[in-house]
């Protein structure tokens, strides 16, 4: 216990003491009164309301050990009120949650405390087989598979028959992780699973209105918005234009106007309209709106058609600025990743090869993407579905990738926005030369620093999210 307090003290030495008001006292007394069936105080010789304030200042990485102290301590650190108190005290911590796929076609979650560098493994997601879906034929799926759709855009091949949640979407709201949809035996699911870090457990919540896989998800005004993806139709898998929103307070889904895909209507012939399928290739919450880049797809071709923006105030979609949509960098298979850090929208442009990538920032005033980092130390994992991921935490941009030894590494960027230049169309400049493996393995450069690394065997990256609790 002494070690726990010394660790907490070293981290919160400069934290001001927050006096306890009558309202706070009554809240802590309610919390302490609900703790187990033990009459002992949490900390001898201290009132429980003071003890709870101490525990709320402890680093989250200590909470698994704190649960072992006593039943009352376990009940305290698993109570949502202590996490609300952490918000009030300003002691919340940003953790990185990484979703990986292992060889057996199973998904596995891992959490990283970036300050201590300690990883924790989450409980496995429940494996659920829905009877009505398990009996459905995959004949329609094979029609699309012949076109290369599954191996190309969806990128999971035979995994649809084996891996639960293949093609699921991942989001965060209200301090919890959400895993939405995906395939179950080749059928798009409506189910939604929530991971609560307070109880370290998964639970099923209200399902989506439409079964979706490979949909795009974003957080806006404390609601999860889901757009696009694919669902099962009579002729196979059908791209979706519909959208919906989840309110975690009410536990309800509401319909959102469908994406118009107005640029897709400008195709010159009915043949092209029938052949090229409109898809949403990304989504980000930026400047109070949802930005959705879009493409027209027919394997192996992607045709960028800009994108559309959803305004929650007017509940309408409108066309994305031309420079933003046409210049939005695309990852392999057309997916467009992005992350917002301190109000700025960033993306990684892999150029012609991953080892010559660039970090770009969107200038909304000039409607153009500008290079802020001209060299990204990412190896060329051409066979990987997700060779890299982007995340924003601790006020900085991070790239999650794998090094030459197959370790997952977290790279922190030192951005210099004052030196941003207009993005070049050429990918062969000397500043874009490839990085050697040692840089990715952990040595620091002027622009990148490895803050954590961990071997997860042959696991592949799938997605990542940030929880601040």
Render pLDDT for 301-339 as a digit per residue (tens, 0 to 9). 677 888 999 999 999 999 999 999 989 988 766 688 999
Same domain, 162 and 297: yes
Same domain, 142 and 269: yes
pLDDT for position 273? 58
Same domain, 292 and 171: yes
Same domain, 224 and 311: yes
Same domain, 9 and 136: no
Same domain, 206 and 308: yes
Q: Which residue in 401, 438, 410, 403 sits closest to 116, CA to CA?
A: 410
Find out whether 454 and 118 touch, Cβ atoms under 8 Å. no
pLDDT tens digits for range 25-37: 445 555 554 544 4
Same domain, 284 and 162: yes
Instruction: Measure the CA–CA gap between 77 and 327, rounded to whole angstroms.
Output: 47
Same domain, 182 and 265: yes
Q: Which residues are within 8 A (CB) of 125 and not within 5 positions of it... i.e. 6 or more apart?
A: 107, 109, 164, 165, 179, 193, 195, 202
From residue 262, how far is each of 16, 313, 415 by CA, in Å?
54, 21, 36
Q: Which residues are within 8 A (CB) of 381 and not within 5 positions of it... i.e. 6 or more apart?
A: 354, 387, 401, 402
Kindly state the average pLDDT of the residues 152-156: 45
Structure-token match 């042959």, residue found: 458
pLDDT for position 377? 83
Which of 320, 349, 369 is at the close of a domain?
320
Residue 226 falls within a domain, yes or no? Answer: yes
- The residue with greater pLDDT, 406 or 135, is 406
- Identify the bridge partners of residue 260 per DSSP, sorted by sequence position: none
Residue 248 scores a pLDDT above 90:
yes
CA triple 377-453-200, angle to 5 deg: 130
Residue 97 falls within a domain, yes or no? Answer: no
Same domain, 131 and 278: yes
Kindly state the average pLDDT of the residues 418-424: 52
Kindly state the average pLDDT of the residues 108-122: 96
From residue 98, how far is each of 16, 209, 225, 413, 452 by CA, in Å?
33, 27, 21, 18, 13
Q: Which residue in 173, 393, 171, 363 sits closest to 286, CA to CA?
A: 363
Residue 325 falls within a domain, yes or no? Answer: no
Residue 155 falls within a domain, yes or no? Answer: yes
Q: How many CB atoms lie within 10 A of CB 49?
A: 18
pLDDT for position 134? 40
Same domain, 164 and 289: yes
- Identify the bridge partners of residue 230 per DSSP, sorted by sequence position: 213, 239
Residue 261 falls within a domain, yes or no? Answer: yes
Identify the domain containing residue 34 by its residue range.
2-89
Q: Which residues are within 8 A (CB) of 418 and not within 5 positions of it... i.e. 6 or more apart?
A: none
Residue 330 falls within a domain, yes or no? Answer: no
Residue 247 scores a pLDDT above 70:
yes
Residue 51 falls within a domain, yes or no? Answer: yes
Q: Where residue 176 sits, what CATH number does that domain have?
A: 2.120.10.80
pLDDT for position 404? 87
Which of 320, 345, 377 is at the close of a domain?
320
Same domain, 79 and 129: no
Same domain, 66 and 180: no
Q: Name the domain count of the chain.
A: 3
Residue 237 falls within a domain, yes or no? Answer: yes
């Amino acid at each position: 216990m002494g070690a726990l307090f010394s660790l907490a003290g070293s981290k919160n030495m400069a934290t001001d003491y927050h006096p306890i008001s009558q309202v706070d006292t009554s809240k802590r007394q309610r919390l302490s009164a609900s703790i187990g069936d033990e009459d002992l105080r949490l900390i001898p010789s201290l009132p429980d309301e003071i003890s709870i304030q101490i525990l709320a200042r402890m680093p989250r990485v200590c909470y698994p050990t704190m649960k072992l102290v006593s039943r009352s301590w376990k009940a305290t650190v698993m109570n949502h009120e202590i996490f609300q108190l952490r918000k009030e005290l300003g002691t919340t911590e940003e953790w990185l949650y990484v979703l990986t796929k292992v060889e057996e076609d199973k998904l596995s979650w891992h959490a990283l405390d970036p300050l201590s560098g300690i990883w924790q493994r989450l409980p496995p997601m429940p494996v659920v087989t829905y009877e009505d879906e398990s009996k459905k034929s995959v004949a329609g799926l094979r029609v699309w598979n012949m076109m290369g759709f599954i191996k190309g855009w969806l990128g999971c091949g035979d995994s649809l028959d084996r891996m639960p949640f293949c093609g699921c979407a991942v989001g965060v709201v209200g301090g919890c992780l959400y895993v939405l949809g995906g395939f179950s035996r080749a059928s798009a699911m409506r189910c939604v699973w929530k991971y609560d870090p307070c109880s370290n457990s998964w639970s099923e919540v209200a399902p989506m209105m439409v079964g979706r896989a490979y949909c795009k998800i974003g957080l806006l005004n404390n609601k999860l918005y889901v757009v696009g993806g694919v669902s099962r139709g009579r002729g196979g898998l059908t791209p979706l234009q519909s959208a919906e929103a989840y309110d975690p307070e009410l536990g309800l889904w509401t319909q959102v106007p469908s994406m118009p895909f107005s640029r897709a209507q400008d195709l010159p012939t009915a043949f092209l309209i029938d052949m090229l399928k409109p898809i949403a290739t990304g989504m980000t919450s930026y400047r109070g709106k949802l930005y959705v880049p879009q493409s027209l797809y027919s394997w192996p071709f992607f045709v960028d058609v800009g994108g559309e923006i959803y305004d929650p105030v007017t509940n309408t979609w409108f066309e994305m600025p031309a420079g933003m949509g046409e210049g939005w960098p695309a990852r392999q298979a057309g997916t467009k990743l992005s992350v917002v850090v301190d109000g700025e929208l960033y993306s990684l442009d892999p150029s012609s090869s991953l080892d010559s990538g660039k970090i770009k920032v969107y200038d909304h005033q000039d409607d153009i993407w500008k290079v802020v980092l001209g060299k990204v130390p990412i190896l060329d994992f051409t066979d990987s579905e997700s060779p890299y991921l982007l995340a924003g935490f601790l006020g900085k941009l991070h790239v999650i990738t794998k090094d030459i030894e197959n370790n997952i590494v977290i790279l922190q960027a030192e951005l210099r926005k004052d030196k941003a230049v207009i993005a070049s169309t050429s990918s062969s400049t000397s500043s874009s030369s490839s990085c050697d493996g040692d840089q990715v393995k952990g040595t620091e450069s002027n622009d990148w620093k490895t803050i954590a690394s961990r071997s997860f065997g042959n696991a592949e990256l799938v997605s990542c999210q940030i929880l601040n609790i």
